[in-house]
Amino acid sequence: MRLTEREPVITVNNLSKVYPVAIKEPGVVGTLRHFFRRTYRYIPAVQSLSFQIQAGEVVGFLGPNGAGKTTTLKVLTGLIYPSSGTVQVVGHLPYRREPAFLRQITLVMGQKQQLLWDLPAMDSLRINAAVYEIPEKVFQERVEELAELLNLKDKLKQPVRKLSLGERMKAELLAALLHRPQVLFLDEPTLGLDINAQAAVRQFLRDYNRRYGATVLLTSHYMADITALCERVLVISGGRLIYDGGLEELRQRFAPYREVKLELAHPCPLAQLQSYGELRSEGDPGSSCEVRLWVRREHLTQTVARLLAELEVLDLAVTDPPLEEVIGRVFAGEI
């Protein structure tokens, strides 16, 4: 089923997922009772989650560990049933796992692999082509195109175990995108990769989105992934959606302050620094002292004037606070 451009590709309404966990008391009596009459406690993983994603959007899905991100992705891909609520992806109910639905989606999990360890990546790609009934000519064209984008042309005939972690992740992406899905669900796709490999994966995803108009829902603990790829983010905490909007709006909403970086000629007493704003870090005492302060936006001009008048400032810069620190404070319940 193909959707029109105006219809959302992903629609989630009041999605909840609750996991029953059996309670077992210790000892023989507890074991017998557990065998014949089990009791359960119920753990909510996702609670009343609602959002829509339009065709071609690249959306970041953020939250601390245990917030419900992976559970939501598993519901959206049909791996698990929702406890309540409704979910539609490309016009299908995911839990039905219909072939027409599966041909339009893919799920890439950074900590999982689908490639056969001892075989060349090309052999696994041929298996995927057979599963998705991709003709040989089309298969060769897509492998050539994706391998060029991923800089993998010389690696596909090597056993997977001989590839570096970055090369294996690229090969996993190639395998996941061989059937040219309309919707990409990416769960920590750059997990464990070095800086260069992360940058290469981000560039590939950016190019793929622009070339094919694919819709992407991305979870990552690397904020560089989010800032490089996503204009919109969903923030989830405790299984509930607490923010849906743009990255800059997120910073404005949860961080109503600016970061002031100072280099001082002489160390300054801690109490005096704290009088200017929230002290984020202070360099080691010495000939100079590097200080980071968070100052409320409405007090910024007055505070900078005080700093310059009262301290011997060698250098001063005013920026927005790092997004990862802002979101980290949201997750920690400080904001």
pLDDT digits (tens, 9 = 90+) for 151-191: 888 889 999 999 888 888 889 899 999 999 999 999 988 88
CATH 3.40.50.300 correct for 52-77+93-251: yes
Crossing angle of helices 195-212 and 136-150, in 10° steps, is 130
Of 25, 47, 44, 45, which Cα lies nearest the Cα of 36?
25
C-alpha span between 257 and 320 (Å, rounded):
8
pTM confidence score: 0.80
**Percentage of the residues of the chain whose pLDDT score is greater than 90:** 48
Q: Strand ranges (DSSP E) for the chain? A: 10-23, 39-53, 58-62, 84-89, 105-109, 183-187, 215-219, 232-237, 240-246, 257-264, 278-282, 289-296, 313-319
Angle among Cα 312, 314, 318 to the nearest 5 degrees reads: 105
| pLDDT grade for 223, boundaries at 50, 70 and 90 | confident
Domain ranges of the chain: 52-77+93-251, 256-319
Please state the length of the chain: 335
pLDDT in tens, 258-313: 889 999 888 888 888 889 988 887 665 444 588 999 898 889 999 999 999 999 89
Is the pLDDT at 21 greater than 70, yes or no? yes
| pLDDT grade for 38, boundaries at 50, 70 and 90 | confident
Q: Is 256-319 in the same CATH topology as 52-77+93-251?
A: no
pLDDT for position 115 = 87
Instruction: Write out the CATH class of domain 256-319.
Output: alpha beta
C-alpha span between 230 and 246 (Å, rounded):
9
Is the pLDDT at 331 greater than 60, yes or no? yes
